[in-house]
Amino acid sequence: MHRISKMSKSSHLSRTVRCILTAAMAALFLLPVESFSWGFAGHRLITKKAVMAVRPHLRAYLLPIADSLSAHSIDPDLWRKFDRAEGNRHYIDLDSLVTFPFDDLPTSYPAAVKKYGEEVIQGIGIAPWRIAEMVDSLSAAMKQKNARLILRYAAALAHYVEDIHNPLHTTKNYDGQLTGNKGIHSRYERWMVETYLDQLDSAIHPDPGSSPGRRLMPMIFNWLRGSYVWVDNLLLADRLSKTPGKRYTRNSSYDDAYYERLFRHTRDFTVAQMSKAATAVASCWQLAWNRAGRPKLNFLHAEIAATR
């Protein structure tokens, strides 16, 4: 398994201290130091923004549980620790199988499996189909008016949708390991995002009230294409952010100057991708609710507050 989950850290800790803590924790659990998706802080932030982007009728039901949705949006990264099947649900290495714009890959899971075989499809990652599964599960939970399941699936759906808006979740070069950018995954999505969280918070503006397309899979593959196109820019930004002549042998070699430059080079598309992610999450929640017949969910807040 080439991707494992991460731990959140207080943003006020210095990067050096955080690196030492990370190394200590990794040694403790005998796990390599890698990270995935937008980092805990990034997921929580995007999910919070997504709630604000939902159209008014559904937003009235979700707003009172926004904190719970945001908090639980990291859960799928925690599930990885206990469930081996969780690993490949967070990404799809599109370019390991087909070339951009990936039209040769069928958007339906049975058709993709028929064309390439189940082992291959499971091997490249199944994020788009996991998202579709979560939309169905959320829709069923809304129909059943099951508050616990609504929270579980809405938060998990947010997580997977947010993951695929990180360009590194769409490529076989997910950690820059093929191009001399090893470690870029956690430097970008975790350390950079945590360091500049306040700036991202004020810059992320999802499209409020955007209506979901009826055909989910083409919409998901459009999001994937829109994410993948930033891979090269991100890897170039990593190269440009290093001080010429300096040796970067370990995590602690990446100093504040590196992260300041990385954020400057990637800020615009990172804000755009996070904003699009929040819009996409809102669209998926809306779609699930529409498919459920737009039930009244005014019991959500009381039931979820009671289980806390």
Question: Binding of Zn ion at residue 163 (CB under 5 A)?
Answer: yes
CB atoms within 10 A of CB 38: 30
90 contacts Zn ion (rule: CB under 5 A)? yes
**Terminus-to-terminus CA distance in the chain, angstroms?**
33
Contact 86, 76 (CB under 8 A): yes
- Cβ atoms of 224 and 68 within 8 Å: the answer is no
- Of the candidates 269, 224, 91, which has an alpha carbon nearest to the alpha carbon of residue 169? 91
Structure tokens at 74: 């990291």
Q: How far is the CB of 233 from Zn ion (least distance, A)?
A: 22
Q: Say how many CA atoms lie within 13 Å of 237 toward its Cβ.
A: 22
Q: Is the Cβ of residue 36 or residue 254 nearer to Zn ion in the bound state?
A: 36
- Out of 3, 15, 18, 37, point to the residue binding Zn ion (CB under 5 A): 37
User: Of the listed pieces 138-146, 158-166, 203-211, 244-252, which binds Zn ion according to CB under 5 A?
Assistant: 158-166
| Of 77 and 93, CB closest to Zn ion | 77
Q: How far apart are CA 59 and CA 209, in angstroms?
A: 10
Q: How many amino acids of this chain bind Zn ion (CB under 5 A)?
A: 5
Residue showing tokens 């042998």: 249
**What angle, 0 to 180 degrees and rounded to 10, lies between the N-to-C axes of helices 147-164 and 256-291?**
130
Distance in Å, CB of 127 to Zn ion, minimum: 9
Tell me the DSSP string of 129-177.
HHHHHHHHHHHHHHHHT-HHHHHHHHHHHHHHHHHHTSGGGSSS-TTST
Residue type, 269: F
- Beta carbon nearer to Zn ion, 74 or 234: 74
Q: Which residue is nearest to Zn ion (CB)?
A: 37
Q: Which residue's structure tokens are 């899979």?
A: 217
227 binds Zn ion (CB under 5 A): no
Binding mask 69-88 for Zn ion (x = CB under 5 A): --------x-----------
Stretch that binds Zn ion, among 54-62, 89-97, 178-186, 296-304 (CB under 5 A): 89-97
* CB closer to Zn ion, 9 vs 89: 89
Min CB(239)–Zn ion separation in Å: 26
Binding region for Zn ion (CB under 5 A) out of 159-167, 171-179, 220-228, 261-269: 159-167
| Nearest distance in Å: CB 130, Zn ion | 10
| Smallest gap from residue 73 Cβ to Zn ion (A) | 10
Of residues 58 and 131, the one with the C-beta less far from Zn ion: 131
Summarize as ranges the residues that interact with Zn ion (CB under 5 A): 36-37, 77, 90, 163
